[in-house]
A = this chain, B = another copy of it.
């Protein structure tokens, strides 16, 4: 069935014959393997260009920052999946990645788009970043939308990864324009929301990445790739020391059934 207009597959990423594999205009074996770090290669795959030294340092730092944060829900889902289907590691990784959605890890993308909107508004209307941020954040609040990248369930003061990522940006010598926008939003938030919502890592990541030219459309890919590494760490541990079923047991120890019982049926109490 033909859906849409395009009928021939065009791609600028890779071509090959039996002797040579070309990726993004480079010979994979001659130019890339053993010569480029995996993070730099990720940048090349996504953007078509090799990263400069600043970009190289920042993309590495963001991938390290977001790869692992313990037994978060998506890691639990992944370990439970491996416990039930131990032959299919790829299925357990996939289950974990499916939890990188709008609420948890996808906020990086949304925060990056927020920064770009504020930046564009300031330019278009000749506003200060403070004024532009105030206007955009107010708009979000009026439509009862969340402010992506601000507030964290555990790190009530600032998430410690934020300061470190901003420091890496400074060390790398980026201009810091989008880091500045991220901090401007943080400064205007209390007056608008009445709450002291601090920058979390999902705002820091797009801020430092936009400062080195990473494309906004690929921002959600950064936490996904990073978490993939964390998930493989957890799943390797799960194979050796399984806790997937222990997690599911603990999760329901205090569970309450709020439905009805059928006439004539009584159940034993859980131990």
Which residues of A does B touch, CB under 8 Å?
1-4, 6-34, 36-39, 41-42, 45-46, 48, 57, 60-61, 63-65, 67-74, 76-78, 80-81, 83-95, 97-106, 153-157, 160-161, 163-165, 167-168, 171, 215, 217-218, 220-221, 224-226, 228-230, 232-237, 239-262, 265, 267-268, 270
Nearest Cβ on chain B to A10's Cβ, whole angstroms: 5
Q: A34-B168, A94-B98, A101-B91 are in contact. Are A14 and B257 (CB under 8 A)?
A: yes
The answer to whether B251 and A70 have CB atoms under 8 Å apart is no
The answer to whether B64 and A38 have CB atoms under 8 Å apart is yes
Instruction: Select A73's contact among B3, B27, B30, beta carbons within 8 Å.
Output: B3
Give A66's nearest chain B residue, CB to CB: B33
CA gap between A60 and B38 in the complex, in Å: 6
The answer to whether A224 and B90 have CB atoms under 8 Å apart is yes
The answer to whether A106 and B90 have CB atoms under 8 Å apart is yes
The answer to whether B106 and A21 have CB atoms under 8 Å apart is no
Nearest Cβ on chain B to A99's Cβ, whole angstroms: 4
Nearest Cβ on chain B to A60's Cβ, whole angstroms: 5
A and B contact pairs by CB, cutoff 8 A, 19 listed: A8-B250, A9-B252, A10-B243, A12-B258, A18-B154, A21-B70, A26-B262, A36-B64, A37-B37, A38-B60, A41-B229, A48-B259, A73-B80, A77-B80, A83-B103, A93-B221, A94-B97, A94-B98, A217-B236
